[in-house]
């Protein structure tokens, strides 16, 4: 009985197959570079450009075969932060705002030295909501980090995955 159970479990394990594939996009060359991001938003968080750059560098270093270079890479990124805005999202019955939204937009210029047909200039936008009763200054860094992660995921997918 025990041997039948072992054989059955072995057959089940062998029949399970997981496969991963990347649709379309190719990882260009061997290196990537990131030029310093600029911030032209009307409301400026002085740490935002560095946070996005660091997140972008970490994502490409950890999830691709590209190596980071301080110079011009085979894949080159340049960014401009164009929006950093807090807006009301949801009101209550007495017209008090219940939720606010921090929205960040970054315009990315991507250059692929091995295949310029993959170059793009595109704006990426993401946001996160927070309770209006909470102190924004105490939440700002966490919100900025979360939104930056979302933005970098969008940039990464646009660059390598062609979603």
DSSP code at position 128: E
Residue indicated by tokens 């089940």: 12
Supply the pLDDT for residue 161: 65
Residue 67 has pLDDT above 50, yes or no: yes
- Residue 30 pLDDT > 70, yes or no? yes
- Alpha-helical runs (H) found in 16-135: 48-63
pLDDT-derived band at 94 (thresholds 50, 70, 90) equals low
Domain regions of the chain by residue span: 2-161
The span from the CA of 1 to the CA of 131, in Å, is 59
Q: Which CATH superfamily is domain 2-161 in?
A: Lipoprotein like domain (3.30.160.150)
Please state, in angstroms and as integers, the Cα–Cα distance from residue 3 to each residue in 6, 7, 13, 16, following that order: 5, 6, 15, 20
Rounded to 10 degrees, what is the CA torsion of 105, 111, 115, 120? 30
- Which one has a higher pLDDT value, 163 or 76? 76
Full-model pTM: 0.79
pLDDT digits (tens, 9 = 90+) for 101-151: 999 999 999 999 988 888 999 999 999 999 988 999 999 999 999 999 999
Q: Exposure of 140 by Cβ count < 10 A (0-12 exposed, 13-18 middle, 19+ buried)? A: middle
More confident residue, 162 or 159: 159
């Amino acid at each position: 009985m025990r041997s039948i159970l072992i054989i059955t479990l072995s057959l089940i394990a062998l029949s399970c197959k997981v496969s991963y594939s990347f649709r379309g996009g190719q990882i260009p060359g061997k290196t990537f570079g990131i030029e310093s991001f600029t911030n032209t938003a009307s409301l400026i968080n002085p740490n935002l450009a560095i946070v996005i750059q660091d997140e972008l560098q970490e994502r490409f270093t950890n999830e691709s075969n590209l190596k980071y270079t301080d110079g011009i890479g085979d894949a080159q990124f340049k960014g401009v932060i164009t929006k950093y805005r807090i807006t009301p999202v949801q009101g209550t019955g007495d017209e008090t705002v219940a939720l606010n939204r921090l929205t960040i937009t970054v315009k990315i210029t991507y250059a692929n030295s091995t295949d310029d047909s993959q170059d793009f200039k595109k704006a990426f936008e993401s946001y996160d909501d927070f309770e209006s009763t909470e102190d924004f200054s105490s939440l700002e860094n966490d919100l900025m980090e979360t939104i930056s992660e979302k933005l970098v995921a969008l940039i990464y997918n646009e660059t390598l995955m062609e979603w």
